Amino acid sequence: MIKISPSILSSDYSILGDELKRMQDCGADMLHIDVMDGHFVPNITLGAPIVRCIRKCSTLPFDVHLMISDPYKYVPDFVKAGSDIITFHVEADSDVEKTVELINSLGVKAGLAVKPKTPVEEVYPYLDKLAMVLVMTVEPGFGGQSFMADMMPKVAAVKAEIERRGLDVDIQVDGGINGTTIIEAAKAGANVFVAGNAIFSSDDAAATIAGFKSKADV
């Protein structure tokens, strides 16, 4: 199933509640919320208190991407704040298996992400406990970067491994997704697409989202 997850990193934070409602009205399937701590990545965004506040602004699933050094410590806070999917990085300091198990035990879907320089095989030991694998198609930390096409073999590889095991795991790509790159990512095997600038800066976000879904249906 194709899913479009607009990244609120590209939204107007001064009217964030309205932006979330706009994305829901325009046909988004979920909302991608980037959490950065200024340590794991060189940027700082928002924390669980803000997620809790904006939860009442949308009924869409909250796709929370923890780009933080110690996700295990903060998972309970983000669950209480209203997260539906919590994705963290295999490169983080927390024990991966314990963190995945904690997320699942709290009734939330678990996702695992890899940076561009990390082999996607790093997620294979945990696939049977995951709802989603996120293959970063830019270096995490800032929006507006260019799509890294050389990440597509990683998407294809994890797709093949998921199918080999007969698992039901989404494959998400994040970074530089637009009307052209989404086709390439979909052909490689991705089905969940994070897009920021391409959607939030569009004159017609509904048409952009619909167009993305059509182009990804390959």
The predicted-structure confidence for 77-103, as pLDDT tens digits, reads as follows: 999 999 999 999 999 999 999 999 999
The answer to whether 141 and 161 have CB atoms below 8 angstroms apart is no
pLDDT for position 70: 98
| Torsion sign across C-alpha atoms 38, 12, 82, 178 | negative
Share of the chain above pLDDT 70, in %: 99
Q: List the structure tokens of 77.
A: 């806070």
State the CB neighbour count (10 A cutoff) for residue 57.
15
Q: Tally Cβ neighbours within 10 Å of residue 82.
A: 18
- Domain coverage including residue 165: 3-216
| 110: amino acid identity, one letter | A
In the chain, the number of structural domains is 1
CATH code of the domain containing 65: 3.20.20.70
> Of 29, 63, 170, 174, which residue is the catalytic one?
174
What's the pLDDT at 145? 75
Which entry of 29, 34, 63, 170 is annotated as an active-site residue?
Answer: 34
Neighbouring CB atoms inside 10 A of 97's CB total 11
What's the rounded Cα separation, in Å, for the pair 9 and 12?
8
* Sheet containing strand 132-136, strands side by side: 3-6, 192-195, 170-174, 132-136, 109-114, 85-89, 62-67, 31-36
Asked about 95 being catalytic, the answer comes back as no
Q: Please tell me the predicted confidence (pLDDT) of residue 144.
A: 66
pLDDT (0 to 100) of residue 96: 98
Backbone angles phi, psi at 147, to 5 degrees: -60, 135
Residue 11, number of CB atoms within 10 A of its CB: 21
Nearest to 99 by CA among 122, 124, 66: 66
**Entry pTM:** 0.95
pLDDT of res. 74: 98
Helix axes 181-188, 205-216, angle to 10 degrees: 40
Q: Is 25 a catalytic residue?
A: no
The pLDDT tens digits for 100-121 are 999 999 999 999 999 999 999 9
133-162 residue pLDDT tens? 999 999 887 666 789 999 999 999 999 999
